[in-house]
Structures are given as C-alpha cells and as structure tokens.
Structure 1
Amino acid sequence: MQNSHLQAATLRLDQFLELKGYRRTQERYTILEEIYSHQDHHHFDAHQLREILLSKGFHLSMATIYNTLELFADAGLIKKHQFGTTASSNYERTLGSRQHDHVVCLDCHHVKEFCDPRMATIENTVGDWFQTRVLQHSLVFYGHCTDELCCHKIEKNTN
C-alpha cells in the first residue's frame, strides 16, 4: 500500500505535468516513489539518489536525475538546499514535512533538523518590520559536532 505522502506527491506530479504539457515518464515516477517511499524524512543529493536507484536495478543517467530533481523542485515536490561550501545540492521532500530548520556538521556534513515554535514569532516580527508577508524562510546553523561517539564522524572517517 502506498503511503499518503506518496499518493499526494503522485497526484501533484500528475497535475503539474498536465499543466506544463510534459510527458508522464516511468523514470519520473520511479524517482518520485524513491523519494517519497521512506517513512523517515531525509536529505539526499543527486549522486546518492542515483546510487540507490542503481542498487534497485534502475539505470538512470545523471542528466535524467538532475533534470527530474529540477522539475520536482518547480512542482513543489522537493526543496533544494545548498548547505555550506559543498558543490552539490541537497534535496528533501516537501509534502508531509513540517516547517523546520537545519544544523550542518562541518566535519561530516550530516544535516540535522529542528523545529522551534519561536520561529513563527520571528517571521511575524520580520514581516511587520519590513511590511512583508513572509511565506517561508531558511535558517541553517553550521558547527562542529561535540559528540565524540558521533556515528556520522565515524562513517565519514572510514570512507
């Protein structure tokens, strides 16, 4: 059984493709299913996504992956992030995701999420100051993990 987020994403993709006059290709739906099939919310880059798809027997070019990710971002199905000075973009699904912000480790590049209800007050205050209706924001903290037993540091050091 499909999860409700995947069903909503599939419906949105159907509507977006029809509105734009784009073809409904199996590759697009395969990539969408991979992104939305996970129960946990995660960040990924194009190369990680391709590796997962390859391991499942789907042989897609990097051009197809990149083009599809851009299309999904335009459709509001994923959000694109540029964390720090890394050359690659990171992505996360948008449907079923609550508003959150990020903490990025400068050592292993692991991305952690947090949600602080005070951010809504800050958005409203900034909107009032600048007479702007704030629709969204992006906040990223960068730092070094102080947990000596951080599993992400260990994984990074073994590669």
Structure 2
Amino acid sequence: MSERSQETDAFADVCNQLRNHAYKLTPQRQTILKIFLEQGSGHLSAEEIYQLVKPHYPDIGLATIYRTLDILADLGILQKNDFGDGRSRYEFSRRDEHHHHHLICLRCGSVSEFDDDLLESLETMIAKRNKFKVVDHVLKFYGYCSKCQEELKRDV
C-alpha cells in the first residue's frame, strides 16, 4: 500500500472516530489532522500546530487548537507527551505498533524516536518477577544530539 493511501486511510479512520463520538468534523479539525499526517513522526506542540494551521485559517485561535488536541488525545488518536520543556507535544498514537521511545536533546530540544527490543524482554522479566501485568510504559533519555555535541566541542 502506498504512503499516500495509508494517509488517506488514517485520515478517514480518524474522521470516523470523531463522528462516532458525536464530534463535528470542522475544516479546522481536518486541517490539524492533515498536518499530523504530513509531519509523520513529528512531536508537535500546540503552538507549532497553530503556526501551521494559521495560513489556512487566519481567524483560528490557539484555544481551538488546544481543544482539538485535547479531544484527539482523549479519544486516543493522539498521544500527549511531556519532554520536560514546559510544552506538551503530540504525536499520532500507534496502538498496533511496537513501543517506541524518545531521545530528547537538552540543548536544542530535538526529539527523536528509537525502538529497542531489549526493552520488551526487560518488561516481560519485570512483569514475571513482580507478578505485575504491565500495560504500558514510557521511556525518555535526556542528553545531547550529535549536532549539539559537535557544537559543544567547538565552544570549549
């Protein structure tokens, strides 16, 4: 299946979820959803989304963005993340995919994702040893991206 048809399917699925929960599918909400689909694995703040939506809808307010993000997060369509920079960031939830984790640069604030199957075996071991059913986990590593490491070396 092509990437474009996957985006179209994902968009239609989210639209159906909104309708099934009696939410209106406003043009502004459609634009916000399309921005997330275009950004792929982007971790966008409400302010960043606002800047991307504003050219399409100059009269849109930041409160509308926040309300839409809250609705999409409550429905499990978006995942709300706190990376310690004072802003919530959002990404599409991936219920059917393997867990992914985040690397957060303390200097530039960039966020990248990584998958590591070792963490799944660790989760299984923790669950077994502690007789605890794990249903979710979040893992964030804070440090310096390669670009910032190079810049820090030059500054010394």
Q: Give the structure-1-normalised TM-score.
A: 0.79
1:79–1:92 contact (8 Å) kept in structure 2: yes
Aligned to 1:110: 110
Indicate yes or no: 2:23 matched with 1:26.
no
Q: Residue deviations 1:126-158, cap 9 Å, x none?
A: 2223323322210001113453159xxxxxxxx
In structure 1, C-alpha distance between the alignment counterparts of 2:104 and 2:63, rounded to whole Å: 27
Instruction: Give the aligned partner of residue 87 of structure 2.
Output: 88
| Map 1:1-159 → 2, pairs under 5 A | 2-18=4-20, 20-38=21-39, 40-55=40-55, 57-59=56-58, 60-84=60-84, 86-95=85-94, 98-145=98-145, 147-149=149-151
Runs of 4+ in 1 over 3 A off after TM superposition: 95-98
Larger RCO, structure (CA 8 Å, separation 6 or more): 1
Of 3-12 and 63-72, more deviation after overlay is shown by 3-12
Deviation at 1:14, TM superposition (A): 1.5
Partner of 1:154: none
Count of equivalent residues: 146
Q: Can you list the C-alpha shifts for 1:82-140, whole angstroms capped at 9, x where unaligned?
A: 112x2210111124864211111111111121111111101111222332332221000
- Contact 1:102–1:111 (8 Å) recurs in 2: yes
User: Aligned partners of 2:62, 2:12: CA distance in 1, in Å?
Assistant: 22
Maintained 8 Å contact 2:18/2:24: no
Q: How far apart are the structure 2 equivalents of 1:131 and 1:79?
A: 28
Compared CA separation, residues 17 and 99, structure 1 to 2 (3 A): same
RMSD of aligned alpha carbons: 2.3
Gaps of at least 5 residues in structure 2 are none
More helix by share: 2
Identity %: 29
